[in-house]
């Protein structure tokens, strides 16, 4: 299949690579869009329905301070719907967020709706999880939807294959994802920007956990010449070792001078190991979802704050003295809030976990620039791989 010439993307996103670690492939860089600079490596808090769950935008800016957050095309399409977002002037204005936003294409949500969708060459027919209404996502209308949402970085429409996945299915799916990509690009050329700033488009590498398919897909995506590239289908239940192996294959092929985004990953350890393989961007619901269940990430391991052992522990949540909330709450107080079913407990835990993820990638960046990332990473992985 002949590659189409990739001529639709402007030079809006400017990526600068500042440093590569001498003992790994870890990179420190920066991306600049119309909504500001993103220092990489970066973790993007997930704001699925125009809200990072449980966190006020003021707290998000002042206490967690991310350069970029993520929105979800599938969910925003269903609610509040694109007509409302267009009347509001786009997602930034609708949710009061003046920094960068990335939207995924809805491919993962379509994957997760396996009982309520049908995948064909045209696109994907699915039932809304809200009211059961029928909808069709095609490469063309997903591009239109993301134009209206107005994120700074928008994603190609792809099929996310499950794990495990038969080789022939993974191969057919990968080629369909590539054909869908061509349709996305062709339609974007016809679809002007909706607002007074530009958008950058990322295609997505697929191929399940098959090295030859990942290599083929990465070569295809690299040949497209986009301003950034994503790696999909590697947070769907596969062992971490397979995730790392596939990421390594892909990062060897994707261009060094463009940002690399590993979609939906993952634990703090996953993030550090994939930074070491050359990934620049991450997102995952884990810090917020786990926080609402009382699971806290710290530099010395994971805490189940609901356990009785924390009942009279008046030390800070993270014993390294890292705090991400405006008051240094104790473990005992936070446990009390969870036991009493006070919403404040979930909010504090969410801010803590998101703060920790942002702290982790920023520390990684510091150590890449300082030249001792690998030593620091190995120490952190050992520390964090504990249940406290």
- Among all residues, which ones are annotated catalytic? 104, 283
Query: How many Cα atoms are found within 13 Å in the side-chain-facing hemisphere of 204?
Result: 32
Tokens in use for 267? 């634990």
Are 105 and 145 contacting, i.e. CB atoms less than 8 angstroms apart? no
Query: Is the bond into 164 cis (omega within 30 degrees of 0)?
Result: yes
Cβ neighbourhood burial of 130 (10 Å; 0-12, 13-18, 19+): exposed
Q: Is 90 helix (H, G, I), strand (E, B) or coil?
A: coil
Tell how far CA 15 is from the center of its chain: 18
- C-alpha span between 383 and 65 (Å, rounded): 25
Query: Helix 343-370 and helix 268-276: axis angle, to 10°?
Result: 20
- C-alpha span between 134 and 268 (Å, rounded): 37
Q: Which residues contact 74 (CB under 8 A, 6 or more apart)?
A: 106, 109, 110, 137
365 conformational bin, left if phi > 0, alpha if psi -120 to 50, beta if neither: alpha
Q: Which residues pair with 205 in a beta bridge?
A: 231
Q: Which residues contact 354 (CB under 8 A, 6 or more apart)?
A: 45, 52, 55, 60, 64, 66, 287, 288, 291, 324
Strand (E) or helix (H) holding 294: none
State phi, psi for 122 to the nearest 5 degrees: -60, -40
Cα–Cα separations (whole angstroms), residue 71 to 42, 311, 330: 16, 37, 32
């Amino acid at each position: 299949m002949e590659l189409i010439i990739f001529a639709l993307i402007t030079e809006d996103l400017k990526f600068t690579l500042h440093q590569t670690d001498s003992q790994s492939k870890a990179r420190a860089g920066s991306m600049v869009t119309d909504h500001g600079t993103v220092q990489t490596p970066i973790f993007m808090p997930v704001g699925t329905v125009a809200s990072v769950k449980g966190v006020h935008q003021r707290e998000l800016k002042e206490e967690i301070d991310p350069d970029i957050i993520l929105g979800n095309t599938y969910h925003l399409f269903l609610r509040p719907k694109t007509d409302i977002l267009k009347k509001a002037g786009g997602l930034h204005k609708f949710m009061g967020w003046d920094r960068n936003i990335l939207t995924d294409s809805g491919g993962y949500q379509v994957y997760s709706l396996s009982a309520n969708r049908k995948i064909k060459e045209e696109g994907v027919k699915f039932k809304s999880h809200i009211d059961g209404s029928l909808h069709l996502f095609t490469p063309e209308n997903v591009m239109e939807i993301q134009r209206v949402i107005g994120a700074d970085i928008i994603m190609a429409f792809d099929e996310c294959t499950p794990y495990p996945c038969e080789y022939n299915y993974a191969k057919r799916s990968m080629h369909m994802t590539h054909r869908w990509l061509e349709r996305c690009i062709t339609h974007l050329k016809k679809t002007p920007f909706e607002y007074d700033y530009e958008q950058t488009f990322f295609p997505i590498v697929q191929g399940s956990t098959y090295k030859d398919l990942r290599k083929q897909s990465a070569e295809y995506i690299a040949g497209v010449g986009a301003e950034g590239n994503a790696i999909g289908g590697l947070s769907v239940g596969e062992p971490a070792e397979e995730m790392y192996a596939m990421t390594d294959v892909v990062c060897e092929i994707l261009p060094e001078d463009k940002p690399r985004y590993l979609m939906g990953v993952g634990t703090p350890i996953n993030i550090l190991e994939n930074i070491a393989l050359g990934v620049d961007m991450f997102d995952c619901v884990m810090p917020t979802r786990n926080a609402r269940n009382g699971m806290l990430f710290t530099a010395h391991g994971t805490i189940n704050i609901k356990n009785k052992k924390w009942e009279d522990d008046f030390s800070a949540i993270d014993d390294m003295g890292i705090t991400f909330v405006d008051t240094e709450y104790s473990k005992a107080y936070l446990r009390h809030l969870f036991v009493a079913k006070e919403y404040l407990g979930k909010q504090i835990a969410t801010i803590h976990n998101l703060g920790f993820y942002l702290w982790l990638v920023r520390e990684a960046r510091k150590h890449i620039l300082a030249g001792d990332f690998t030593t620091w990473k190995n120490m952190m992985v050992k520390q964090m791989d504990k249940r406290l």
